[in-house]
C-alpha cells in the first residue's frame, strides 16, 4: 500500500494559499484517477480516499491539522510502512510551477515535513516538491526573513497561478504513476531533468 499525503492547512481561509498547493494537487489527482470521495478519518485527523492509481493500491491523506502538526496524520507509518509514503508539498526554494522529486533528504525548513519526520522517525520517504516562488527577469524573488516567509506562504495564489497549479497537477499525476510503477529514482531521472529545463 502507498500512502500519498498532500500538505496544507484546513479551512476555506487557507484553501488557495501557496502553502496549500500540496493539498490542491492531491485533490486533483484523486479526481483524475477516480478514487473514492474524501471521508473523515478521526484516528488520522484527516480526510482519506482509497483506490487504485493505475495498478497500485493507494490511500490519499489530507491532514486536517495545521501544517506544523502534519505528522500526527501519519504517525502510524513508521518503520517499513514509511517506505510507502509519498508527501506532496510547497517549496519556496523552487521557481513557481516547477517540481522536484526527492528522497531521504532534510526538511528545507518546511514545518509540515519536519513534523512528519519527527513523528515517523525517518526522512527516508519520497517527496514531490512544488515550487511556489515567483521569477522576475530570470531571478527568483524569495522571501528572506521568517516573518516574510510566513506572510508569503499564507498569501493567496492569483488566478493565473491557480491555473498553472491545475496544469502542473497533470504532470505530477504522471510522475506519481512512474514512482509507483518504477520507483522514485526513475522518476527523479526524468522529471527533475525536465523541470530544470
Phi, psi of 65 (to 5 degrees): -85, 170
Given the residues 19, 89, 110, 119, the one annotated as active site: 19
CB 88 within 8 A of CB 79: no
CA angle (33 as vertex; 27, 36 as ends), nearest 5:
70
Closest CA to 135 of 89, 92, 87, 100: 92
Residue 115 makes CB contacts below 8 A (sequence gap 6+) with: 67, 68, 69, 70, 71, 72
- Whether residue 110 lies in the annotated active site: no
Residues marked active site are found at 19
Amino acid at each position: 500500500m502507498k500512502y500519498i499525503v498532500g500538505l496544507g492547512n484546513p479551512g476555506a481561509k487557507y484553501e488557495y494559499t501557496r502553502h496549500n498547493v500540496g493539498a490542491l494537487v492531491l485533490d486533483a489527482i484523486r479526481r483524475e484517477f477516480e478514487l473514492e470521495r474524501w471521508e473523515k478519518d478521526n484516528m488520522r485527523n484527516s480526510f482519506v480516499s482509497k483506490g487504485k492509481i493505475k495498478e497500485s493500491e493507494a490511500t490519499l491523506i489530507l491532514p486536517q491539522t495545521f501544517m506544523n502538526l502534519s505528522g500526527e496524520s501519519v504517525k502510524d507509518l513508521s518503520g517499513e510502512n514509511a517506505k510507502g509514503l509519498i508527501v506532496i508539498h510547497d517549496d519556496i526554494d523552487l521557481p513557481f510551477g516547477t517540481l522536484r522529486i526527492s528522497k531521504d533528504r532534510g526538511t528545507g525548513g518546511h514545518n509540515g515535513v519536519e513534523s512528519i519526520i519527527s513523528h515517523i522517525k525517518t526522512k527516508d520517504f519520497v517527496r514531490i516538491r512544488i515550487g511556489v516562488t515567483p521569477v522576475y527577469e530570470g531571478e527568483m524573488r524569495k522571501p528572506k526573513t521568517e516573518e516574510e516567509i510566513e506572510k508569503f506562504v499564507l498569501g493567496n495564489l492569483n488566478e493565473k497561478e491557480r491555473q498553472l497549479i491545475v496544469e502542473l497537477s497533470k504532470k505530477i499525476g504522471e510522475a506519481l504513476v512512474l514512482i509507483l510503477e518504477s520507483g522514485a529514482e526513475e522518476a527523479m531521472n526524468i522529471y527533475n531533468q525536465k523541470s530544470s529545463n
